[in-house]
Structure 1
Amino acid sequence: MALAWWEAAARLGVALVLGAAIGFERQWRSRMAGLRTNALVCTGAALFVMFSVLIPNDNSPTRIASYVVSGVGFLGAGVIIRDRGNLRGLNTAATIWGTAGVGVMSGGGYFTVAVLGAAAIVLANVLLRSVARQVDRRETGRTNNPRHYRFRAVGRDADEAHIRALVVQSLTAGGFSLHALDSADIDNTGKVAVTARLTGHGQDSGQLEQAVSRLSLEPGISSVSWRVGNDEEDL
């Protein structure tokens, strides 16, 4: 199959314009992959598909498209940054991935689908941004509410001082506010129960589980547990 020069130019032109339109929104918001990156990704994807169209006996357009998806996946991974345990750049990587899809459609001559795809990507980045912020604000307000916990460790009576020190160290390292630390002998067992009353913010179950895991490895401690309450009186 031979493409006329005007048809090839039209496919590349549509890919370039749509990729630039997607990239403009990213550039406007000062994201890493902006105008030129998305325009080049879209145009490059169109070129690969056009190559398969020009040589139909040797290369299937669908197979070339799958290679484009794999290659763009590596490019998108390059813009993902881990910052203090959080991942940044996922939205930009997804945008690049979608831009490659627009380029594949443009290179294949499916202009209507390409335009609709580009419009969907831009609208998702623009309109859903405010929705995502509302959800984040709601979650932030929820996690800022203080939550009260009771942490209990049981071990040998002779190791009481050591157990108290381990409990304090484990809980304060997790960012909790320690309000009280009590010890009580368990009758006729030779064991002591150390109970800590503390306050945290948000979803602290992960830190508490880590504290449980650490203390459970101590030879003098036989059991460790925690629970959450509505307020300090419940503890």
Structure 2
Amino acid sequence: MVWYDIVLRLFIAIIVGACIGMERQWRHRMAGLRTNALVSLGACIFVLLSVMLDHDASPSRIAAQVVSGIGFLGGGVIIRDGFSIRGLNTAATLWCAAAVGTLTGAGFLVAAILGATGVLLANILLRPIALFMNQKSKEESPEQTNYFLSLTCSEEHEAHIRFLLMHMVSSEGIGLKELYSEDVDSKQKVCIQATLHCSTNAAVLIEKIVSRMLLEAGVTAAGWKTSLDLEAI
């Protein structure tokens, strides 16, 4: 392999990686222009190494190791925010940038350019379609609100009460957004707080859950309110 072939592959790897990263940078994502360019370049370098070692290394085996390594980078940009996950699209874009760099390092320049074009089209053209589908889904679904449920029980019954509450919420098809416990003064009491997400006309269902929890041993108080009640205060 001559030097200008190496330079050409490295240059194209940077260009196609940067093109993918420009779209991410424009949307202010964590992995932007430089990150995607470096991922593509790094993948290209690893494959070039296997190519230049002649019979000592298999390009396909090196490419497989690149794919495994990208998993660690992808995990770094995925963030859990409550019960929602952010960064999956950015992680997938990094994975695609590595694939494009691998193609470039192996000498498949046209395929690399076409692959980068496909990644850009997927991120740019499919975004408004996804937003439209999400908006239509919200419009067609019944109006949702948050319910804040509070239970006071003894410390020894805390684990059982939490498990029972989660089971009842799940069996009724109610979304559980938050669940935590905190001590109540020094009376060996625990206050269990839960944030539930369901339709605005689910008051009867929430009251049913609260009434059932009051029948449990160790529960001394229970109540609930909606986010609309809090806004009215």
Q: What is the TM-score normalised by the length of structure 2? A: 0.65
2:34 corresponds to 1:36: yes
Question: Secondary structure at the residue paired with 1:33?
Answer: coil
User: Aligned ranges for residues 26-105 of structure 1 at < 5 Å?
Assistant: 26-105=24-103
Alignment partner of 2:6 out of 5, 8, 23: 8
Alignment partner of 2:196 out of 165, 168, 174: 174
Q: Cα gap change, 1:173/1:82 in structure 2, threshold over 3 Å: closer, same or farther?
A: closer
2 CA distance for matches of 1:58 and 1:26? 37
1 CA distance for matches of 2:140 and 2:29? 29
Q: Number of aligned pairs? A: 173
Question: Could you report, residue by residue, the CA deviation over 1:125-173 in whole angstroms, capped at 9, with x for unpaired residues?
Answer: 00000000011101222334369xxxxxxxxxxxxxxxxxx99xx9x95
Shift of 1:84: 1.5
Q: Where in structure 2 are there 5+ consecutive unaligned residues?
A: 146-164, 169-191, 218-233
Shift of 1:179: 7.6
2 CA distance for matches of 1:56 and 1:119? 31
User: Aligned ranges for residues 218-229 of structure 1 at < 5 Å?
Assistant: 218=216
Question: Secondary structure at the residue paired with 2:6?
Answer: helix
Q: Cα gap change, 1:178/1:25 in structure 2, threshold over 3 Å: closer, same or farther?
A: closer
Question: Secondary structure at the residue paired with 2:54?
Answer: coil
Q: What is the TM-score normalised by the length of structure 1? A: 0.65
Residue identity over aligned pairs, in percent, reads: 50
Residues 12 and 106 in structure 1, CA contact (< 8 A), matched pair in contact too: yes
2 CA distance for matches of 1:16 and 1:197? 60
Question: Could you report, residue by residue, the CA deviation over 1:49-105 in whole angstroms, capped at 9, with x for unpaired residues?
Answer: 000000121110000000000001110110000012111000000000000000000
Question: Secondary structure at the residue paired with 1:98?
Answer: helix
Residue type of the partner of 1:62?
S
> Rg larger in 1 or in 2?
1
Alignment root-mean-square deviation, CA = 3.4
1 CA distance for matches of 2:103 and 2:29? 25
| 1:187 aligned partner | none
Alignment partner of 1:137 out of 113, 135, 138: 135
